[in-house]
Amino acid sequence: MKKQEEKPVVEMTEIVLPNDANTLGNILGGKVMHLIDIACAIAASRHCRRPVVTASIDYLDFKHPIKVGELIIIKAALNRAFHTSMEVGAKVWSENLLTGERRHTSSAYLTFVALGEDGRPVPVPEYVPETPDEIRRWKQAEIRRQHRLEQKKRLSNFDG
* Total residue length of the chain: 160
Cβ-contact 143, 136 below 8 angstroms? no
Question: Rounded to the nearest whole angstrom, what is the least distance from the CB of residue 90 to ligand COA in the complex?
Answer: 16
Give, as ranges, the residues between 55 and 84 that touch ligand COA (CB under 6 A): 55-56, 82-84
Strand order in the sheet with 102-114: 9-15, 71-81, 85-95, 102-114, 52-62
Residue with smaller CB distance to ligand COA, 121 or 129:
121
Q: Residue 34 interacts with ligand COA (CB under 6 A)? A: no
Strand bridging mode 52-62 / 85-95:
unpaired
Out of 53, 102, 135, 150, the only residue in the binding site for ligand COA (CB under 6 A) is 53
Cα 31 from Cα 65, distance rounded (Å): 12
Between 129 and 158, how does the x/- string for binding to ligand COA read (CB under 6 A)?
Answer: -------------------x----------
Residues that bind ligand COA (CB under 6 A): 53-56, 82-85, 111, 113, 121, 148
